[in-house]
Amino acid sequence: MQIRTYQPDDEKGWVRCRVLAFLDTAYFDNVLKQKEAYDHSAIELVAVEDNQIVGLLDIEYEKEERTICSRGSGLGGMIWHIAVHPDYRRKGIASELLKKGEEIAKEKQLNRLEAWTRDDDWVNAWYKKSGFNKVDSYLHVYLEGNEELSGHIKYTVPELFPVVTFAHYVGENKEQIMKKFNRVHECVCYEKVLV
């Protein structure tokens, strides 16, 4: 396996790897049709094996404090994407991508990384094992069908009827919201201090 900098010719393989990697996670419907472009500088790495992209890591990073990350002091980097093709999991690819990403982040004078993920136990366990600490969370709430939408979502356009709504819940009554709606995910923020 080779870890190298992402190149524009990698886009199709990057998208394919990300889509397949996310299918069995809580982000299964977060499908991208093209690779995301960043407003700020980014560390963009791919893992290549058997002439295909089998892993990816994108870290957009700050040159001015608090322009990307939501907490901490000093310059940070936001992990927007980390994924491993399902046929290549359990080979340490994500850990190798992170290790290389951290090396580059330190060279760029970053002092921490931040990442947000949903409530997949195995993903959260990987972040903890990789030295990240949980520092915050809120809920991603999907409201679907009349029963869930009625009385919760207001709309003012005549003859326009919401079918599905995605919302963020940042209040204190998380358990109540989780019981009230069928599809709710905790969105967790992890932070790792780079030393």
How distant, in Å, are the alpha carbons of 151, 163, 165 from that of 155? Answer: 11, 12, 11
For residues 46 and 10, give the distance between their C-alpha atoms in angstroms, rounded to a whole number.
8
For residues 135 and 75, give the distance between their C-alpha atoms in angstroms, rounded to a whole number.
17
State the average pLDDT over residues 87-116. Answer: 97
Of 3, 98, 111, 105, the C-alpha closest to 48 is 3
Residue 21 is assigned to a structural domain of this protein: yes
Quick: pLDDT tens for 16-71.
Answer: 999 999 999 999 999 999 999 999 999 999 999 999 999 999 999 999 999 999 88
Residue 122 is assigned to a structural domain of this protein: yes
Residue 147 is assigned to a structural domain of this protein: no
Residue 174 is assigned to a structural domain of this protein: no
Residue type present at position 131: G
Residue 140 is assigned to a structural domain of this protein: no
Return the CATH number at 124: 3.40.630.30
Residue 51 is assigned to a structural domain of this protein: yes
DSSP state of 157: S
| The pLDDT value given to residue 70 | 86
On whether the CB atoms of residues 82 and 91 are closer than 8 A, the answer is: no
Residue type present at position 65: E
On whether the CB atoms of residues 144 and 182 are closer than 8 A, the answer is: yes
Residue 172 is assigned to a structural domain of this protein: no
Q: Which domain holds residue 52?
A: 2-129
| The pLDDT value given to residue 155 | 86
For residues 169 and 67, give the distance between their C-alpha atoms in angstroms, rounded to a whole number.
23
Quick: pLDDT tens for 107-166.
Answer: 999 999 999 999 999 999 999 999 999 999 999 999 999 889 988 988 899 999 899 999
**How many domains, the chain?**
1
On whether the CB atoms of residues 53 and 13 are closer than 8 A, the answer is: yes
What tokens were used for 82? 């980390």
Residue 28 is assigned to a structural domain of this protein: yes
